[in-house]
Amino acid sequence: MNESTRKTAVVSNDELEKQRRFMHKVSAVITAGYSEKPKACVITYGCQQNVADSEKIKGMLELMGYDFTDNRLEAKLIIFNTCAVREHAEDRVFGNVGSLKSYKRENPDIIIALCGCMMQQKHIADKIKRSYPFVDLVFGTHVIHCLPELLYRALTGRKRIFEIPDMDGAIAEGVPVKRDNDKKAWLPIMYGCNNFCSYCIVPYVRGRERSREKADIINEFKELVSQGYKEITLLGQNVNSYGKDLIPQVSFSQLLRELNSLDGDFRIRFMTSHPKDCTKELIETMASCDKVAQHLHLPFQSGSNRVLKAMNRHYTREQYLELINYAKELMGDELSITSDIIVGFPGETYDEFRETLSLVEEVKATSLFTFIYSPRKGTPAAEMDDPVSSEEKSRWFKELTDLQEKISAQQMALHKGKTFKCYVYGKGRLADNYVAARNDGNLIIEFEGDESLIGTFQNIKVIEPLTFVMRGEIVKEKNYEY
Ligand code: 5AD
Ligand code: SF4
């Protein structure tokens, strides 16, 4: 990494070296007097970015000598990596942490730690300090790479530790990663968000947009391919603005094209795209790159231009549709669209909500991620008048999910007879001699086939769309040729 080629702050090699020294110190403390490795339990809430962060946490813990368990009641170290995007996720964290109170009383030497987006909010950290005295360590999103040092202090000191620096964030390269899956990998290409959509807490808790160097991404990508990873998802809150902070600038399309040209048998996915920064060039790049999944996750949030403005989204319904239609024109049947929608934004009327329904009808997404608006302290929307009752919002929500269910079924039915490039990921459920595969749009197609096909790409023709999966047949008995 060359620190002079970027505007964004980078964690220094000295700091990373210091953390490596703390790894050895932690290792000495946790293994002293024990014949078995102590177990750690890492519980992750929220988005893929958090999953990727937890994989780094586990990577560091593994090097420090921890083993892993899913059972928190047999762990010496319990870490909750939290999500702040909606209230529901926060409530679950408080409930689950609260339930450990007596476990900690009976086992005072275990360490309970909390990290992630929730902890980056002052009122939440204060609540933990006040009402959850059995939590030993709290650390924010910007200091994950400091876990060895923080853990050492928690293990050897008597004081509770709250390490939540308020900063724009920096890039830490070279942190070890222990991946949850040996075929599908998450690869963060950038961190943070500059968009400040009026309902969203992410820019406040994840700092400003900062891109990893292209060379670092390519090296990690090549390593993943050489390790046999088949589906690699590039992650960022807004991947379309990747590289704007690098000197010289690099565009996301450029990065995609370079990754696409690497040797190997793999599929590239990416998320999330923002319609205001999604360019026709990106759509053309997707269409022309054979290893890039023809899947566009492009959240529109609302179909009403007034609401979009109040959300601070910087595009109109018409501009959104122009992008979608261009993508459909270029990628045709191959293209799968998914999107995020918020129902019941403050001040949204039923008529405005119906504009969302009509956009849903026009877009014809494979599937949607739908949410009822959740006020987030500190965001502009939380200060707006919100006269519609939650019962009413729930009725609208049901109307939306019913509509999408109908559209998803229609979309599935249209797939009959089509052939998709699919990654065979495991055993099927329809019958003993079936295996299961996913197409670019993440739809599951099961077909009669030998388990030796697992881990390969195949052409599968859809015979019969069922409710959640499709039944298909293999078109040619050899690996997909790119
Ligand atoms: N309330 C409900 N949904 C939200 N999202 C983000 N913030 C909120 C909120 N305050 C949704 C958006 C975003 C997705 C990741 O979560 O749809 O695209
Ligand atoms: Fe939140 Fe908007 Fe940034 Fe997405 S683009 S993380 S919705 S502020």
pLDDT digits (tens, 9 = 90+) for 460-470: 999 999 878 99
CA–centroid distance, 49 to ligand 2, in Å, is: 13
CA–centroid distance, 371 to ligand 1, in Å, is: 7
pLDDT in tens, 180-232: 999 999 999 999 999 999 999 999 999 999 999 999 999 999 999 999 999 99
HSE toward the beta carbon, residue 455, CA cutoff 13 A: 9
Atom number, ligand 1, closest to the C-alpha of residue 376: 10
- The pLDDT value recorded for residue 32 is 84
**Average pLDDT rounded to a whole number, residues 15-35:** 92
CA–centroid distance, 277 to ligand 2, in Å, is: 12
CA–centroid distance, 75 to ligand 2, in Å, is: 35
Ligand number with the minimum distance to the CA of 83:
1
- Angle at which helices 317-331 and 280-288 cross, to 10°: 20
Residue 479 has pLDDT above 50, yes or no: no
CA–centroid distance, 235 to ligand 1, in Å, is: 17
Return d(Cα 197, Cα 204) in angstroms, integer.
11
CA–centroid distance, 91 to ligand 1, in Å, is: 16
Return d(Cα 200, Cα 376) in angstroms, integer.
7
Cβ–Cβ < 8 Å for 346, 353: no
| Pocket-forming residues, ligand 1, beta carbon under 6 Å | 85-86, 199-200, 299, 301, 340, 342, 371, 373-374, 376
- The pLDDT value recorded for residue 3 is 47
Residue 4 has pLDDT above 70, yes or no: no
**Average pLDDT rounded to a whole number, residues 461-480:** 81
Burial of 159 (0-12, 13-18, 19+ CB in 10 A): exposed
* Rounded percentage of the chain residues whose pLDDT exceeds 90: 92
Cβ–Cβ < 8 Å for 278, 339: no
The residue contributing the CA closest to ligand 1 atom 13 is 340
Mean pLDDT value across the chain: 94
Residue 262 has pLDDT above 60, yes or no: yes
The residue contributing the CA closest to ligand 2 atom 5 is 195
Atom number, ligand 2, closest to the C-alpha of residue 193: 3
**Average pLDDT rounded to a whole number, residues 94-112:** 96
Residue 480 has pLDDT above 70, yes or no: no
Residue 110 has pLDDT above 60, yes or no: yes
Residue 5 has pLDDT above 90, yes or no: no
- C-beta 193 within 6 A of ligand 2: yes
pLDDT in tens, 134-192: 999 999 999 999 999 999 999 999 899 999 998 888 899 999 999 999 999 999 999 99
Contacts of 195 (CB under 8 A, 6+ apart): 203, 237, 238, 274, 276, 312, 314
Atom number, ligand 1, closest to the C-alpha of residue 369: 17
- The pLDDT value recorded for residue 297 is 97
- The pLDDT value recorded for residue 79 is 98
Atom number, ligand 1, closest to the C-alpha of residue 199: 10
Alpha-carbon distances of 110 from 32, 78, 136, rounded to whole Å: 15, 8, 9
The residue contributing the CA closest to ligand 1 atom 7 is 200
Residue 9 has pLDDT above 90, yes or no: no
Residues of the chain by 3-state class (helix, strand, coil), percent to 5 = 40, 20, 40
CA–centroid distance, 274 to ligand 2, in Å, is: 8
Atom number, ligand 1, closest to the C-alpha of residue 381: 10
Residue 425 has pLDDT above 70, yes or no: yes
Atom number, ligand 1, closest to the C-alpha of residue 374: 1
**Average pLDDT rounded to a whole number, residues 130-137:** 98
Long-range contacts of 277-283 (CB under 8 A, 24+ apart): 277/238, 277/240, 277/241, 278/240, 278/323, 279/240, 279/253, 280/323, 280/326, 281/251, 281/253, 282/240, 282/252, 282/253, 282/256, 283/323, 283/326, 283/327, 283/330, 283/331
CA–centroid distance, 340 to ligand 1, in Å, is: 8
Ligand number with the minimum distance to the CA of 314:
2
Return d(Cα 349, Cα 359) in angstroms, integer.
16
- The pLDDT value recorded for residue 7 is 67
